[in-house]
Structure 1
Amino acid sequence: MRFRRMNPVYRYADYGNATVYDGDAASYSGVVTKTSILLGIIAVVAFYANIRLQAFGFNNGLIITLILAPIIAIIAVIVAHRRPEVAMFASIVYALMEGLFIGVISTIYAIYFGDQIVQMAVLSTFGVLFGMLFLYSTGIIRVGAFFRRLMFSLLIGLLFTSIIMMIVFLFAGSFVGGFENIYFAVVVISVVVSSLYLLIDFDNITKFVEAGAPKNMEWSLALGLVVTIVWLYIELLRLFAIIMDRR
């Protein structure tokens, strides 16, 4: 049985064929455990990055970190989805790089807006996570082909809009005219879309586990969910920053 998967960042990532497996099969508890491990690594590395920045301040290596860490993380995600047999190693690499990136970004936001913005983003992220899990498990929102196509269309629209706004920002030096309001709207929509993409990740996990996918698929499934959680956290950081800046 084959399932088409649309990750919020890497649509082309594919787990391949999930067929009933004679050996150890993927389980919900296994996915939950591995998701917890990856989130734990991200949290520890982010905390370490925060401590280092507070102790030694910003330097030239900071920009390099902000560029290289996401690139390595993207490569790790692609490898994990293409090669499930090495998904554990690739997932850990992703968690390390993303933890470093989030640690730096969170510290920057905390410096400008106070430590409470990070706490708000973390609490809100897990609040949305469990809220979406409730909506999915109770069947209030069902994930079908139309829902997936809609979410992907919204994602593409957000990407193009973000690129256009970035170009305007680079040439104008700042957001001009009504672009500030457009930017706020884009961030709000991004929060909504990233939240709804959690439902797609839950549905992917359900389908693979019920299909009897092999045990090593748990790392790929967990990584897909973590990618969405990280995306949601960053969007919430941006949203709270805009709200606090407008006060």
Structure 2
Amino acid sequence: MQSNNPVFTRSEGFNGRGNASVGSPSTWSTGLGQGSGPGGYGSYDQGGLGGGYAPAPQLDQGRMTIDSVVQKTGLSLGVVVLVAAATWVLTGDLGNASTAQGTLGTLYALSLVGSLGGFVLAMVNSFKKVISPALVLAYAAMQGLFVGAFSKVVEATFVGPGQSGLVLQAVAGTFMAVVGTLAAYKFFDIRVTPKFRIFVTAAMIGFVAVSLFSFVLSFFGAGLGVNGFGTVGMVFAALGVVLGVFMLIMDFDFVERGIEAGLPDRESWRAAFGLTVTIVWIYVQLLRLLAILRGND
């Protein structure tokens, strides 16, 4: 059953097409198929490219496990948090009237650089057949730049004196969304069907396309309001959170498949990248939603 998520599509094991381990031939089946080797996927080739040979040194690299995925996802998210915190601290005080305008301009520029840089690196990582840890961490750094600048602007704009911080609420909400989704996935034994994948992927592509179209229109003095902080923006932010949770379910499913396929440990970086993309997405959409609700009070 093949993935529709470009983050995982390029990896054989995440889609049940390859086997990461090189061991003694055996034939047994999982829920995904039958064949030679663990999990019934056949031999895993050099870099997962389908080259037709399986070098013995792959044995020394170990296999992807839940622990390795958690460790590398934690490292990737740690880079996001560190860069976001540095961006927040080093860009000055928005409470100072004499420098606030310049600081806002800097924050807008940094958020644009971070979002565009993150988008480019996301595309590179998504379609790269052999995952690069350096590029995954570079993506995390760009996202940290965007998250830090965007969060500071939102906090300064929507949080008044004596009110609690939106950023902390968004962080807590994102954490609860991830933990709650994981718990539901495991305890309720959620199965990801092909129809579910197609629906979520199509919805996400449509969401991004509409957002980009509205962004382009904004340069001509128009716009659909989907990226803003009005009623339309609130609807799209809520939809974005729901889509993010659905993508998280798909990510958990792909990680589970990769582990069952016996992928090499380096593929933990691909899993970490996919989870980082989704978690940052949920945080940004949730922060927008909270800001809009705060503004409507």
TM-score range, shorter chain: 0.7 to 0.9
1:113 maps to which residue? 158
Using the size of structure 2 for normalisation, the TM-score is 0.72
In 2, the alpha carbon distance for the partners of 1:173 and 1:161 equals 10
**Paired residues, number:** 239
Percent sequence identity over matched residues? Answer: 27
1:151 maps to which residue? 200
Q: Measured at CA, do residues 192 and 69 of structure 1 come closer, stay the same or move farther in structure 2, by a change above 3 Å?
A: same
Task: Give the superposition deviation at 1:29.
Answer: 0.5
In 2, the alpha carbon distance for the partners of 1:53 and 1:207 equals 42
Please show how residues 235-246 of structure 1 align to structure 2 within 5 Å: 235-246=285-296
Q: 1:122-144 CA distances to partner (integer Å, 9 max, x unpaired)?
A: 00001000010011112353211
Q: Which shifted more, 185-194 or 77-86?
A: 77-86
Bigger helix fraction: 1
Task: Give the superposition deviation at 1:93.
Answer: 0.4
Look up the equivalent residue of 1:230 and give its one-letter code: V
Q: 1:80 aligns with which of 121, 125, 135?
A: 125
2:236 maps to which residue? 186
Using the size of structure 1 for normalisation, the TM-score is 0.86
Look up the equivalent residue of 1:186 and give its one-letter code: F
Show structure 2 runs of 5+ residues with no match. 14-18, 23-58, 94-98
1:133 aligns with 2:182: yes
1:216 aligns with 2:266: yes
| Cα RMSD for the two superposed structures | 2.5
1:91 maps to which residue? 136
Look up the equivalent residue of 2:141 and give its one-letter code: L
1:42 aligns with 2:72: no
CA contact (8 A) 2:7 2:274 kept: no
Look up the equivalent residue of 2:142 and give its one-letter code: M
Task: Give the superposition deviation at 1:71.
Answer: 2.4
Which of the two has higher C-alpha Rg? 2
Structure 1 segments of 4+ aligned residues over 4 angstroms from their partners: 163-170, 172-175
Q: Measured at CA, do residues 162 and 174 of structure 1 come closer, stay the same or move farther in structure 2, by a change above 3 Å?
A: closer
CA contact (8 A) 1:187 1:239 kept: yes
CA contact (8 A) 1:84 1:216 kept: no
Q: Measured at CA, do residues 75 and 13 of structure 1 come closer, stay the same or move farther in structure 2, by a change above 3 Å?
A: farther
Secondary structure at the aligned position of 1:143 is classed as coil
2:20 maps to which residue? 20
2:89 maps to which residue? 51
Show structure 1 runs of 5+ residues with no match. none
Secondary structure at the aligned position of 2:3 is classed as coil
